Chains A and B, each alone.
Chain A
Amino acid sequence: MPTTPGDLLSDRAVDMVHAVLSARDVPVGTTPHELIWRKNKASLYRYVRQTPPAHVTPVFLVLPLINRAYILDLRPGSSFVEHLLWQGFDVFLLDWGIPGDEDRTLDLSQLLTRYLPRAVSKASQAAGGVPLTILGYCIGGSLAACYTALYPDSPVKVRNLVLFTTPIDFADAGKFGTMTAKGVFPVEQLTSVLPLVPGQMPDMGARLLSPLPTTMGTYMRLWGRLGDADFDLPGWQAMFRWVNEGVPFPSAAYRQWITEFYQDNKLARGRLHIDGRPVRLADIRCPLLNVAAAEDEIAPRSTTSAIMCLTSSVDAQEIILKGGHVGVVVGRAARTALWPQVTDWLAARS
């Protein structure tokens, strides 16, 4: 038992170093799942259900390229996947995996024409040939919207489209827009020199949006909370692990993301072509649920709100929650503020 301030300081310091260093070993993504399909580094998983699904339409999750996929299945009790399973949905998750140097030429067009259609088809087959709900998060949402717009007549129908903090209109992309502006950000040089854009780079960009709370503030708050008997240390470690386990971006995909989406805003302007085919968001006609964060600095409201008037969906709903880009989707408040709303919306359309 610490008796002097010095003892307390050193005990707490040891606890803190241990908390940070052991974060990389904390179990994440533990909901049982099976591999359905694999292509290159991408894997399609189906989560194991103990009972038959209560809803006919499975949920197909599309994750961002720059993050580990376990964010939607962080840990028991803090898992959106687990919530979907409890609510009776059949759940599939497309994990893009970790690219290597050999994937330097892999661009978003290939992901949209060679990966997503096959993964969607395999998921539908596994579920008995039924239409799917596609749910995309962040860049995964942008890809999900592009896919739904590109394949309106696909044999596998998209029954519903759900977007979580998804940037669509980059005309005013906030601070990220300033950082990646034409003539300022050397995207051509970056992607020609490096086969993969290191995961730390987008992460550093995100930290610069709010420099102190995302760097020093993280450790200051941890120091204070380590003294709190109710502090959920494994939960903190799981999130810390996720934030610090960035995934590299294949150079070609990164170049396309920055130039065609951020700099030229082709998606919202209807000028994006994938494999020679135009991506028209107006071709999206299925029910749409757009979830946005009011204080999102990564995908500000100006980028996430546009989808509501760019599609032809008659049944379109938007949920705007107080919070940031990650917090509204997987934070503690999401369990009561967001997840039940999403599953109620889906249940009514599945």
Chain B
Amino acid sequence: MSQPPQKPDNRAPRASSDPFELWRQIYETNEKAWNAVLERTVNNPAFAESSGKILETFLAAQKTVRDNMKSYLEGINLPTREDIARLGELIVALEEKVDQLDDRLARIEHAVTEGSKSSAKPPSGTPRRNAGG
């Protein structure tokens, strides 16, 4: 029985011909051990404390940049990022007001519907009046 023709695959893994393969195998063999060392370094309180300090320093620098940019933009009469954000906040607040009105309208509508339903229905236990009196 003849074999079906094999689909040529020019991307088939050929460990010997891929110079990167050796490096990948070394990495895969050692990943667990290397990662354990890194994890021990990174996930301890001392590392957390020092990264907290680095973050604090970065934030202090960031604040200086933001303050300077704000002063500069104010000086040349241009809106700052905060001004634009404030405008956005006003729109969001306005949307919330509309939502609150919408909620109140829905509650009123619900109450009216329930009210008209109960007034249309004779109270239970009350004998129905004969149409002929």
Instruction: Note all chain B residues with C-beta closer than 8 A to A210.
Output: 35, 39
Once the chains bind, are B18 and A211 in contact (CB under 8 Å)? no
Tell me the nearest residue of chain A to B90, going by C-beta. A102
Once the chains bind, are B59 and A193 in contact (CB under 8 Å)? yes
Once the chains bind, are B11 and A226 in contact (CB under 8 Å)? yes
Instruction: Note all chain B residues with C-beta closer than 8 A to A105.
Output: 89
Report the Cα distance A282→B11, complex, angstroms: 58
Once the chains bind, are B31 and A213 in contact (CB under 8 Å)? yes
Once the chains bind, are A39 and B99 in contact (CB under 8 Å)? yes
Once the chains bind, are A5 and B19 in contact (CB under 8 Å)? yes
A220 and B38 in contact, given A39-B99, A102-B88, A185-B52 (Cβ under 8 angstroms): no
Instruction: Note all chain B residues with C-beta closer than 8 A to A12.
Output: 11, 18, 20
Once the chains bind, are A208 and B43 in contact (CB under 8 Å)? yes
Instruction: Note all chain B residues with C-beta closer than 8 A to A50.
Output: none
Per-residue B-contact encoding for A158-192, CB less than 8 Å = 1, 0 else:
00000000000000000100110100111001100
Instruction: Note all chain A residues with C-beta closer than 8 A to B31.
Output: 212-213, 217, 220
Once the chains bind, are B11 and A229 in contact (CB under 8 Å)? yes
Once the chains bind, are B92 and A102 in contact (CB under 8 Å)? yes
Q: Does any Cβ of B come within 8 Å of A104's Cβ?
A: yes
Per-residue A-contact encoding for B35-51, CB less than 8 Å = 1, 0 else:
10011001111001101
Chain B nearest CB from A178 CB (Å) reads 5
Report the Cα distance A184→B43, complex, angstroms: 13
Once the chains bind, are B27 and A216 in contact (CB under 8 Å)? yes
Once the chains bind, are B20 and A1 in contact (CB under 8 Å)? no
Once the chains bind, are B92 and A103 in contact (CB under 8 Å)? yes
Q: Does any Cβ of A come within 8 Å of B101's Cβ?
A: no
Once the chains bind, are B48 and A223 in contact (CB under 8 Å)? no
Report the Cα distance A210→B52, complex, angstroms: 19
Instruction: Note all chain A residues with C-beta closer than 8 A to B88.
Output: 100-103
Per-residue A-contact encoding for B2-17, CB less than 8 Å = 1, 0 else:
0000001111111001
Once the chains bind, are B81 and A101 in contact (CB under 8 Å)? yes
Q: How many residues of B contact A (CB 8 A)?
A: 47
Once the chains bind, are A227 and B12 in contact (CB under 8 Å)? yes
Report the Cα distance A117→B86, complex, angstroms: 26
Report the Cα distance A211→B99, complex, angstroms: 45
Contact of B17 among A8, A100, A216 (CB under 8 A): A8
Q: Does any Cβ of B come within 8 Å of A114's Cβ?
A: yes
Once the chains bind, are B52 and A178 in contact (CB under 8 Å)? no
Instruction: Note all chain A residues with C-beta closer than 8 A to B51.
Output: 179
Q: Does any Cβ of B come within 8 Å of A315's Cβ?
A: no
Q: Does any Cβ of A come within 8 Å of B62's Cβ?
A: yes
Report the Cα distance A21→B86, complex, angstroms: 36
Interface residues of B in 55-104 (CB under 8 A from A): 55-56, 59, 62-63, 66, 81-82, 84-89, 91-92, 95-96, 99, 103
Once the chains bind, are B99 and A104 in contact (CB under 8 Å)? no
Report the Cα distance A194→B60, complex, angstroms: 11
Once the chains bind, are A220 and B42 in contact (CB under 8 Å)? no
B-side residues, CB < 8 A to A, are: 8-14, 17-20, 24, 27-28, 31, 34-35, 38-39, 42-45, 48-49, 51-52, 55-56, 59, 62-63, 66, 81-82, 84-89, 91-92, 95-96, 99, 103
A-side residues, CB < 8 A to B, are: 1-2, 4-6, 8-9, 11-12, 15, 39-40, 100-105, 114, 118, 175, 178-179, 181, 184-186, 189-190, 193-195, 208-213, 216-217, 220, 223-224, 226-229
Known: A184-B49, A220-B27. 13 other contacts (CB 8 A): A9-B19, A101-B82, A101-B85, A103-B88, A104-B85, A184-B48, A193-B63, A194-B59, A208-B43, A211-B42, A217-B31, A220-B24, A227-B12
A-B contact pairs, 12 of them (CB 8 A): A2-B10, A5-B19, A8-B17, A101-B88, A102-B85, A179-B43, A179-B48, A184-B52, A193-B59, A195-B85, A211-B39, A220-B24
